[in-house]
Chain A
Amino acid sequence: MADVVAPPYRVIPIIPALIPGSMEGLKPFVANDKINTAIGFPGELVEDWHDKAIAKMGELLSKYRSLKVYMDACVHCGACSDKCHYFIGTQDPKNMPVARQDLMRSVYRRYFTLPGKLFPKLVGARDLTKEVLDEWYSYFHQCSECRRCSVFCPYGIDTAEVTMAAREILDSIGYGQKYSNEIIGKVHRIGNNLGLPGPALRDTLEGLEEDVKDATGVDVRFPMDVKGAEVLLITPSADFFAEPHIDSLIGYAKVFHATGTSWTLSSMASEAGNFGMFIGNYDQLRQIALRIREVALELGVKRIVVGECGHAWRVAYSFWNTLTGVGDGADETDRFAQMLQKQLDHRYKQPMHICEFTWDAIERGALQFDKSKNDKHIITFHDSCNVARGSRMGDFAGGQFEIPRNIIKTVANNFYEMAPETTCEQTFCCGGGGGLLTDDLIDLRVKGALPRMEVLQQVVDEHGVNFMATICAICKAQFTKVLPIYGFDRRLVGGVHQLVSNAIILGDK
């Protein structure tokens, strides 16, 4: 990986000139037979892939209003054309959101619209050839489904929906991506994306209890599979061992300790992440989410809290109620959802983000901090795309921006914002989301991080920022990898609850 170099910062952050074909042929590893069949996809590209793909597309068009409307509504105005971090970093015109969508729209027009059937050239319609299919595989794996384009589209066209549909079609004909599909296999087989078996997890948690005891002198517990606990914590499995993720896990445990909350992790549902969303497969999305429902019912918990993970929070906040009934407001006659909703305590939001939990405790005055413990950190906050544009926290629109910042300002003294056109709803993806956090895409990941790195450099230069807090496992892993390539210290990235952990004053409960 020595040959991976960061693209230069833009002197003035203007829209880059096009370099057609600059990322052509980039192809993440294709899933093999074993990986695909384990999760119910054809092992390899099927003989009649053309007809199957078109049929699948027709099916998706009838099941998803988003796809149907988004295929028709685009007017090629170009509002989105300079908004994608991968376009900015690679300058490949096919990484403009509209051009990425058009890879599919051109096929849609050819097979599903009258003008495309009659005058394909006129309306830019194309047959689905093997070349087009390969192009799909390449460019629909250069989208992190971050939804930044959808903020700017006058019709709200969300390229993520198109990317998801494309990946779903590719999977249905045996042309799926190794990284995502292998991880989905692991979550079913072992319970988490990293493949940590229950006993290893228990060892890790016991080790953490000792570490925290050594560091603080307090017995902070990391319970697992405890029946009757009040809170079930669902967190990304990277929190169990990856740096800097683990420091946030310690932070959650300290918050639970200090608030006297009885809580538990689950060995079976030891993963908040849900790569079913990345591949756009409703069935996988649902099956992976259902593990949480099962564990919640089995342990009899009253509340479900989700750790620092961007896409997991989108799935939990936006989709869990639909997929599993974790939430409120199901119909009286909806027995599937009612079964769980009757068990949950609706004085609290279900599910709840750990930041909501902590902020609520802070507002109640249940937590005390020594802010000076974070004085060595000069902090900025990176909004993670799925949290920013696919979810919410608290009671009002935009709570997902305010609550993590409020927590940081409560536990630390030095906080600076990055450029406003790159934060909150306009935040840039870290460059590694949406199923692209794999070494075979490192070149893309480095280039996709460019817009974030540029504005990070600004606050580093102006304010001496040395800590970029974020609440996403993928952001943390991606930045840990690409920061050194841009000349930063890899430890510059960390979690919000890592800061909470540093400053929290533990009683001796």
Chain B
Amino acid sequence: MVSTLFAILFYLATLMLVVGLLYRINTYARTPAPLKIPTTPAPTTQTGVVLRMAREVVFFESLFKANLWIWSMGWLFHASLALELARHLRYFTEPVWGWVALIQPFGMYAGLTMLIGLLGLWVRRLFVERIRYISTPSDHLMLVLLIGIALSGLTMTFVTHADVVGVKNFFISWMGFSSASLPADIILYFHLFGVASLMAIFPISKLLHAPGVFFSPSRNQTDNPREKRHIAKWASDLEN
């Protein structure tokens, strides 16, 4: 019964994540950017833009310039999360890919660093006057959710040792649309429910910063307005 409910939950969450994100990305891609507004100095070539975006996405370059506290905690959290996500691929693939097996030992500790990053960010949100001022309840809840996921995951890794073989069997089976039961484990339920919630709210929350950054005109435009005429459809219609 619980297993079926979780299976349905994950089907729905995946559907919402994928459809929601595709819809959002499609909207961003189709909305025109009528004017050249890169924040300068900006790269003058397409290659330069790719490098700028890469520095932004991988190293959080602008954030580094802005504030070392947010940068260090934010980067620690995101890098750890990326490692955790990669490590978790082992629960969805059989046989486990070589590089996934390779990062397993590091991935296990990434949960800890992820938690440190999240707590660092939350402390800032709670105790720095300016940041508290701009925080909405959802900003705090988002951190609570992520901290909950990290804590429950760490508990299963280091304390209660969840039946990961059973979990893997559950996901691989349902991914092939055949039923399987989930190990009865309250912490596991908590962990999975948190993850499914995160997936579901992704396309309707501030988590949209992830796809959004790639569409930000101030970052992804080439600085070449004199060399190449840039014109949106609705703007060129004004010329006729």
Contacts and interface: CB of A to CB of B under 8 A. Distances in A.
A325 B138 contact: no
Contacts of A425: 39-41
B65 A114 contact: no
B66 A158 contact: no
Contacts of B128: 78
Interface in A109-145: 113-115, 121-124
Given A155-B213, A282-B235, A68 B28 contact: yes
A79 B63 contact: yes
Which of A64, A79, A158, A331 gathers the greatest number of chain B CB atoms within 10 Å? A79
B37 A68 contact: no
Interface string A382-396: 000000111110011
A151 B65 contact: yes
Given A64-B31, A156-B39, A69 B216 contact: yes
Interface in B29-69: 31-37, 39-44, 48, 56, 60, 62-63, 65-67
Contacts of A349: 226
B88 to A, nearest CB: 23
A329 B62 contact: no
A17 B178 CA distance: 59
Contact of B212 (A73, A397, A398): A73
Interface residues of B, number: 67
Contact of A80 (B48, B66, B219): B66
A151 B62 contact: yes
B185 interface: no
**Interface range on chain A: under 10, 10 to 19, 20 to 34, or 35 or more?**
35 or more
A291 B108 CA distance: 65
A334 B138 contact: no
Contacts of B33: 64-66
Contacts of B205: 115, 123
Interface string A59-88: 001111110111011111111111100000
A155 B216 contact: yes
A72 B124 CA distance: 22
A322 interface: yes
Contacts of A74: 206, 209
Main secondary structure of the interface of B (DSSP, over half): helix
B215 interface: yes
Given A64-B31, A64-B33, A389-B40, A322 B212 contact: no
A282 B225 contact: no
Which of A61, A77, A113, A157 gathers the greatest number of chain B CB atoms within 10 Å? A77
A237 interface: no
Given A73-B206, A152-B63, A161 B227 contact: no
B231 interface: yes
B135 interface: yes
A329 B228 contact: yes
Nearest to A335: B239
Contacts of B27: 68
Given A68-B27, A153-B62, A93 B130 contact: yes
A368 interface: no
B130 A73 contact: no
A318 B229 contact: no
B217 A327 contact: no
B239 A151 contact: no
Given A73-B208, A349-B226, A123 B136 contact: yes
B130 A319 contact: no
A15 B225 CA distance: 37
Contacts of A156: 39, 56, 62, 213, 216-219
Query: 4 tightest A-B contacts by CB?
Result: A73-B212, A152-B66, A124-B136, A397-B41
30 contacts: A64-B31, A64-B34, A65-B31, A69-B215, A72-B209, A73-B212, A73-B213, A74-B206, A75-B139, A77-B63, A77-B74, A78-B70, A78-B134, A98-B134, A124-B136, A151-B39, A151-B65, A152-B66, A152-B67, A153-B66, A154-B56, A155-B212, A156-B62, A156-B217, A286-B238, A319-B35, A322-B36, A328-B226, A329-B227, A389-B40
